[in-house]
DNA sequence: GCCGTTTTCGGCCCGACTGTTTTCAGTCG
């Protein structure tokens, strides 16, 4: 765990402890917000002083002191925050686990603790079995059943799933929804649309002509004066019913007129990394899927609302209030003193149909979903009057990191070329492993020399066939533990492209890792640093180098840092791409192809790049061939 | 605890759904 993650974890836990202690809820919210801010920082908090911390949106005087206290004590080998320790002594630690059970919040858990002396999952189970749990206010049979199934779900309920598993699942369900009668449009929202590397739940929006446009509760309360039975408008929409009975749905968590939440089965991949592997998933892993039915006229407002992020939404709503308007998932409305929401009083929205018109009405340029994370960005976009033109899938014209059957790939060189042609690439690089990667059948110097000859001949053949594609002779050369490279300079100089990557010694301490990677970045023959940290999402933390130093060196030496597009890697990660983009360093987005389907991972690399605000001019894969070749040749001279 | 195009004090986004209630608190996103 990096220092930032450790600080974020403490702050987030402090937020929960504050809630359980019944303290001011806004104080708790402030702590969890500060945790999110620290988590998404590119630089280590270690390198920041108090003014730098306080300058961050969401971190003030008090929390800055706590972060500094943590850093100072960490350097002495006993990282802690005194206030956090103090609260931990007041709250039984088992309560935090109970708080993670879906459907249980701070009020209920606090009541369990205070009234029934429940302190952990064991005493909770006892209270369920003895029936004493029912003594709590607002606690009935159904609530108890819900807690029981929540207990059975265990950690699964809170685990975040890699985007590479969640997106195909969301797309499959979206297709199934599109097949339902009356459905006009289905969109994926939430963190999937923002392209985050891991996903907690899938949000889907369905547009139908007959979706209710006003709050059902209001209508029902009006009608319930006449009758106590459920009115027709309280019944779930037919699309909601159809969704809840899809074959992959295991549990219906909630189901109302316009929305439903279910747990549905995740299909694991069978490829190189078996989708997390059996050790990390229960036998039939599930994740939560939320569906909401929306009418055409408020689709933009709903899409915006359910795309988030939460912090982005809150900031937009505050903006709306500042200009005497109110923003909800039905649209942007003029603000007044009435208690009934504007959409329920027949008031026309100022904007609601598309996201673009809502941003415009708020005096903002359109903000792409990938950039809807940090509220502080909004003011910047407004000041500039525009958002940078982010790199897009269509901008990518080459892949500079790919393997063949010569090492551990499953494609022949010809198959590699066919895949590249299919995607309209002008260039594809063959970068098989170097000799130290024995397990990946790394090439010896002799075999690499042979491969170079093969590639030269292939280029001639392709030209004579009239195919406009260039195959680059390259290597994914190991960066050894001390930062030296796995092939000597003489051999590397014969190559068109050198991708240098760390594969072993991935638990080095940060200082050693920084030195190691700096050595590779400044090597005159290295063009790209492949998967710079070697992390695997949900599986291996990888190296934790001083990223600001790496970025500075990468800019100086015009060495590109790779975004490895495989969804298990996404390395560099988004916040580091952002820092690199800001600093003006070059970025490569490569698929590290081992089989044909790996080319399809490019979209995940693109999401990460966009979240890092990468523009085409800083992305070497978006350059025309001549510019790319000139850059490759410029190194080593 | 944080924050300020009205504020250095007094606010802090807004609605759906559930399960328990006779009108709403708690949880979630």
Angle between helices A299-307 and A310-322 (to 10 degrees): 130
> Is A258 near strand B, with its CB below 7 A from some atom of it?
yes
CA dihedral A185, A188, A189, A190 (to 10 degrees): 160
Full set of structural domains in chain A with CATH:
3-157 (1.10.150.110), 159-169+191-222+235-292 (3.30.460), 295-387 (3.30.210.10), 393-634 (3.20.20.140)
* DSSP class per residue in A196-214: -SEESEEEEEEEETT---S
* Rounded CA–C1' distance between A278 and B25, in angstroms: 41
How many residues are there in chain A? Answer: 637
Average pLDDT on A525-548 reads 95
Task: Kindly give, in sequence order, each residue whose CB lies less than 8 Å from that of residue A626, ignoring residues fewer than 6 positions away.
Answer: none
DSSP 8-state class, residue A268: P
CA dist A251 and A249 (Å) reads 6
CA dist A79 and A366 (Å) reads 42
Q: Select the more confidently predicted residue: A560 or A212.
A: A560
| Residue with smallest Cα–C1' gap to B20 | A138
Which of A248, A592, A303 has the alpha carbon at shortest distance from A428? Answer: A592
Convert the pLDDT of each residue in A369-412 to its tens digit: 999 998 888 988 988 889 999 999 999 999 999 999 999 999 99
Could you tell me if A436 and A442 are in contact, meaning their C-beta atoms sit under 8 angstroms apart?
Answer: yes
> Is A314 near strand B, with its CB below 7 A from some atom of it?
yes
CB < 7 A to strand B: residues 134-163, chain A: 138-144, 146
Residue whose pair of structure tokens reads 């994740």 in the numeric block: A287
| Residue with smallest Cα–C1' gap to B5 | A322
> Is A30 near strand B, with its CB below 7 A from some atom of it?
yes
Instruction: Provide the token pair at A355.
Output: 């996201």
CA dist A623 and A344 (Å) reads 52
Residue A267 binned pLDDT confidence (cut-offs 50, 70, 90): confident
Which of A486, A485, A549 has the alpha carbon at shortest distance from A514? Answer: A549
> Is A63 near strand B, with its CB below 7 A from some atom of it?
yes
> Is A388 near strand B, with its CB below 7 A from some atom of it?
no
Task: Kindly give, in sequence order, each residue whose CB lies less than 8 Å from that of residue A244, ignoring residues fewer than 6 positions away.
Answer: A236, A252, A255, A260, A262
Which of A123, A190, A40 has the alpha carbon at shortest distance from A574? Answer: A40
> Is A414 near strand B, with its CB below 7 A from some atom of it?
no
- Residue A227 burial (C-beta neighbours within 10 Å; 0-12, 13-18, 19+): exposed
Average pLDDT on A294-308 reads 92
pLDDT of residue A138: 87
Q: Please state the three-class secondary structure of A283-341 as a single string.
A: CCCEEEEEEEEECHHHHHHHHHHHHCCHHHHHHHHHHHHHCCEEEECCEEEECCCCCCC
pLDDT of residue A221: 38
DSSP 8-state class, residue A565: -
Residue A43 binned pLDDT confidence (cut-offs 50, 70, 90): confident
Average pLDDT on A7-34 reads 92
Average pLDDT on A513-532 reads 98
* Rounded CA–C1' distance between A475 and B16, in angstroms: 55
* Pair type for strands A249-255 and A325-328: unpaired
Nucleotide nearest to A137 (CA to C1'): B20
Q: Residue A270: pLDDT above 80?
A: no
* Pair type for strands A259-265 and A201-208: unpaired
* Rounded CA–C1' distance between A60 and B4, in angstroms: 14
Q: Residue A635: pLDDT above 50?
A: yes
Average pLDDT on A417-430 reads 98
Instruction: Provide the token pair at A613.
Output: 């605000």
Average pLDDT on A422-434 reads 97
CA dihedral A607, A609, A610, A614 (to 10 degrees): -170
CA dist A394 and A391 (Å) reads 8
Instruction: Provide the token pair at A605.
Output: 């690399």
CB < 7 A to strand B: residues 590-619, chain A: none
Could you tell me if A490 and A449 are in contact, meaning their C-beta atoms sit under 8 angstroms apart?
Answer: no
Task: Kindly give, in sequence order, each residue whose CB lies less than 8 Å from that of residue A551, ignoring residues fewer than 6 positions away.
Answer: A561, A576, A579, A580, A583, A585
* Rounded CA–C1' distance between A301 and B25, in angstroms: 28
Could you tell me if A615 and A386 are in contact, meaning their C-beta atoms sit under 8 angstroms apart?
Answer: no
Instruction: Report residue A259: phi and psi, to 5°.
Output: -150, 155
**C-alpha distances in angstroms, A154 versus A158, A226, A285, A527?**
8, 44, 12, 46
* Rounded CA–C1' distance between A574 and B28, in angstroms: 27
Between A153-162, A171-180, A457-466, A628-637, the lowest mean confidence (pLDDT) is in A153-162
Q: State the average pLDDT for chain A.
A: 90
User: Which bases of chain B are contacted by protein, using any atom under 7 A from a CB?
Assistant: 1-3, 5-6, 11-21, 23, 25-29
* Pair type for strands A587-590 and A259-265: unpaired
Highest mean pLDDT: which range of A95-99, A328-332, A627-631: A627-631
């Amino acid at each position: 765990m990096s220092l930032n993650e450790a600080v974020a974890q403490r702050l987030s836990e402090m937020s929960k402890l504050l809630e359980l202690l019944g303290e001011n809820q806004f104080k708790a919210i402030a702590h969890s917000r500060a945790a999110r801010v620290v988590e998404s920082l590119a630089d280590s908090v270690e390198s920041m002083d108090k003014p730098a911390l306080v300058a961050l949106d969401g971190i003030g005087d008090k929390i800055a002191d706590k972060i500094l206290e943590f850093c100072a004590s960490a350097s002495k080998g006993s990282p802690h925050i005194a206030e956090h320790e103090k609260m931990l002594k007041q709250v039984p630690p088992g309560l935090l686990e109970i708080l993670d059970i879906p459907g249980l919040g701070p009020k209920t858990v606090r009541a369990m603790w205070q009234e029934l002396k429940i302190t952990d999952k064991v005493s909770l189970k006892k209270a369920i079995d003895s029936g004493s749990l029912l003594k709590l206010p607002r606690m009935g049979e159904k609530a108890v059943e819900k807690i029981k199934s929540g207990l059975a779900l265990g950690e699964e309920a809170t685990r975040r799933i890699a985007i590479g598993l969640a997106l195909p699942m969301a797309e499959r369900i979206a297709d199934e929804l599109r097949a339902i009668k009356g459905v006009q449009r289905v969109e994926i929202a939430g963190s999937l649309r923002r392209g985050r590397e891991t996903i907690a739940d899938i949000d889907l929006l369905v547009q139908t002509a007959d979706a209710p446009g006003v709050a059902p509760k209001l209508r029902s309360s009006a009608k319930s004066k006449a009758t106590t039975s459920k009115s027709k408008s309280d019944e779930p929409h037919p699309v909601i019913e159809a969704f809840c009975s899809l074959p992959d749905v295991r549990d219906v968590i909630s189901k109302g007129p316009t929305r439903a939440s279910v747990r549905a089965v995740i299909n694991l991949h069978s490829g190189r990394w078996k989708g997390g592997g059996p050790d990390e998933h229960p036998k039939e892993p599930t994740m939560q899927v939320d569906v909401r039915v929306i009418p055409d006229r408020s689709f933009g407002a709903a899409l915006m609302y359910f795309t988030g992020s939460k912090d982005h939404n809150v900031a937009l709503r505050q903006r709306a209030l500042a200009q005497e308007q109110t923003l909800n998932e039905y649209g942007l409305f003029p603000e007044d003193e009435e208690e009934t929401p504007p959409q329920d009083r027949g008031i026309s929205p100022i904007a609601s149909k598309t996201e673009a018109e809502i941003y415009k009405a708020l005096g903002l340029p359109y903000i792409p979903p990938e950039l809807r994370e940090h509220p502080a960005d909004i003011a910047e976009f407004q000041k500039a009057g525009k958002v940078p033109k982010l790199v897009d899938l269509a901008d990518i014209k080459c892949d500079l990191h790919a393997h063949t059957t010569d090492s551990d790939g499953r494609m022949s060189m010809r198959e590699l070329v066919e895949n590249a042609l299919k995607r309209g690439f002008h260039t594809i690089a063959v970068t098989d492993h170097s000799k130290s990667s024995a397990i990946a059948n790394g090439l010896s110097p002799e075999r690499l020399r042979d491969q170079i000859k093969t590639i030269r001949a292939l280029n001639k053949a392709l030209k004579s066939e009239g195919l406009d594609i260039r195959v680059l002779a390259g290597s994914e050369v190991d960066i050894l533990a001390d930062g030296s490279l796995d092939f000597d300079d003489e051999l590397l100089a014969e190559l068109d492209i050198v991708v240098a990557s760390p594969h072993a010694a991935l638990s080095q301490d940060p200082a050693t890792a920084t030195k190691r990677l700096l050595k590779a970045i400044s090597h005159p023959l290295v063009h790209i640093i492949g998967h710079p940290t070697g992390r695997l999402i949900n599986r291996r933390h990888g190296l934790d180098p001083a990223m600001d130093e790496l970025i500075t060196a990468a800019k100086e030496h015009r060495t590109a840092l790779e975004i490895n597009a495989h969804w298990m890697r996404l390395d560099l990660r988004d916040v580091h791409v952002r820092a690199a983009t800001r600093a003006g360093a070059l970025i490569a987005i490569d698929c590290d192809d081992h089989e044909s389907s790996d080319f399809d991972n490019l979209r995940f690399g693109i999401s990460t790049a966009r979240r890092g605000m990468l523009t085409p001019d800083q992305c070497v894969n978006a350059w025309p061939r001549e510019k790319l070749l000139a850059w490759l040749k410029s190194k080593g001279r």
